[in-house]
Amino acid sequence: MKLIPCNGPQSGRRSRAAGFSLVELMTVIAVMGILATISVSSYRKYVLRANRTEARTALLAVQVAQEKFFLQNNTYATNLATVTAAPPAGLGVTLDSTGMTPGGHYVISFPAATATTYTLQAQATGTQTKDDSACQLYSVTEQGVLTPPAGTSCWH
């Protein structure tokens, strides 16, 4: 009976080790890095766009409260203290003492306000200043005029 070696017919040759080479590993890491960069950038743009709702919500809440206040008092609120005071003396809108919105991404102010007219502004602050320049300042008047205009991507 003839004995066959355990290693089979390749017993005289050196076999190649199974696994990944350094070049293959570095290629995979490079591709993953590129994909991560693209996804983080897209995510950041999405977060900035989502934070815009904070400005729109705050401005429209103050606008509605202003109209209600005008119907009751025949005058608009002209300062931030009146906006944050509880009704009937104020509008009862939730802002901090500096006019910061609850999420902290915008500051609400009255650049122009009289007994019969007002202009409200929401100015981006903090990380929200990295948003598109057209969407960093929102305003609304007693006539309902919106800046930037309502048809732009800032209001979507």
pTM above threshold 0.85: no
Give the integer Cα–Cα distance in Å for 71 and 74. Answer: 6
Is the pLDDT at 30 greater than 90? The verdict is yes
- Topology of domain 24-155, CATH: Glycoprotein, Type 4 Pilin (3.30.700)
Asked whether the predicted pLDDT for residue 8 surpasses 60, the reply is no
Is the dihedral angle over the CA atoms 4, 10, 11, 15 positive or is it negative? negative
Question: What are the structure tokens assigned to 155, written together?
Answer: 């209001």
Q: Locate the domains of the chain by residue range.
A: 24-155
Look at residue 26 and tell me whether its pLDDT is greater than 60.
Answer: yes
| pLDDT score, position 5 | 57
Which is more confident, 57 or 152?
57
The answer, yes or no, to whether residue 127 has pLDDT greater than 80, is yes
Decide if pLDDT at 33 tops 80. yes
Please state, as a whole number, how many other Cβ atoms lie within 10 Å of the Cβ of residue 129: 12
The more confident residue out of 117 and 78 is: 117
pLDDT at 141: 92
Residues 63-88 have a mean pLDDT of 86
Average pLDDT over residues 38-44: 86
Per-residue model confidence (pLDDT) at position 4: 60
Confidence of residue 14 (pLDDT cuts 50, 70, 90): low
Q: Is 110 helix (H, G, I), strand (E, B) or coil?
A: strand
Distance CA 55, CA 106 (A): 6
Lowest mean per-residue pLDDT among 8-12, 71-75, 87-91, 126-130? 8-12
